[in-house]
């Protein structure tokens, strides 16, 4: 399975997601058409705690609401799913969503949502991830991955090409 890697230049924060899981996400974006969609990311951390391995990205819960430039993720079914994942030692890691035919850059609302999640006790996730898919899911999409840090907001984790290092690495 081919994985895609994202990492902060200082290597403190990394994210890994398989092409296969990403393909499922992009398919959801395609189905959403001109509206935003999204879901949650679940997975685990490596032993060194410097990389989050995303093992699954949910579809949009049925009670989600969306427009062309906004998305309100619902909660239906998520808690039950997360409870089941506990056994396989995978947990809530963060959120993903789709900016149809637009850049995968976080909005003010995205920042506020991530800040809220980071401080909501029930998520148990003080540094949640945000993965945004932008563009045309049929042929010309791109993704950006961020980690929310209380002291600086959303920090982008640039993609690291297989076998290479991040462009900012010295």
Catalytic residues: 36
User: How far apart, in whole angstroms, are the C-alpha atoms of residue 82 and residue 5?
Assistant: 24
Q: Is 105 helix (H, G, I), strand (E, B) or coil?
A: coil
As measured in angstroms, the least distance from the Cβ of 104 to Zn ion is 8
Contact flag: residue 95 with Zn ion (CB under 5 A): no
Nearer to Zn ion among residue 7 and residue 97 (C-beta) = 97
User: How far apart, in whole angstroms, are the C-alpha atoms of residue 75 and residue 77?
Assistant: 6
As measured in angstroms, the least distance from the Cβ of 97 to Zn ion is 5
Nearer to Zn ion among residue 110 and residue 157 (C-beta) = 110
Nearer to Zn ion among residue 3 and residue 59 (C-beta) = 59
130-142: burial string, b at 16+ Cβ within 10 Å, e else? bbbbbbebeeebe
As measured in angstroms, the least distance from the Cβ of 119 to Zn ion is 19
Q: Is 21 helix (H, G, I), strand (E, B) or coil?
A: helix
Looking only at residues 102 through 121 of this chain, which bind Zn ion when binding is defined by CB under 5 A? 107, 110
Per the document, the length of the chain is: 170
Binding interface with Zn ion (CB under 5 A): 107, 110
């Amino acid at each position: 399975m081919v994985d895609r890697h994202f990492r902060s230049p200082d290597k403190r924060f990394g994210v890994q997601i398989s092409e296969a899981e990403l393909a499922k996400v992009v398919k959801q974006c395609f189905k959403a058409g001109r509206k935003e969609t999204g879901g949650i990311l679940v997975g685990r951390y490596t032993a060194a705690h410097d990389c989050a391995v995303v093992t699954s990205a949910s579809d949009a819960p049925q009670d989600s609401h969306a427009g062309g430039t906004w998305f309100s993720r619902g909660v239906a079914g998520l808690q039950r799913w997360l409870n089941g994942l506990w056994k396989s030692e995978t947990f809530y890691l963060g959120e993903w969503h789709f900016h149809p035919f637009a850049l995968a850059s976080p909005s003010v609302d995205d920042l506020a949502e991530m800040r809220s999640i980071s401080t909501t006790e029930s998520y148990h996730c003080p540094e949640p991830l945000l993965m945004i898919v932008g563009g045309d899911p049929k042929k010309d999409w791109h993704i950006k991955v961020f980690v929310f840090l209380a002291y600086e907001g959303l920090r982008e984790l640039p993609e690291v090409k297989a076998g290479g290092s991040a462009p900012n690495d010295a």
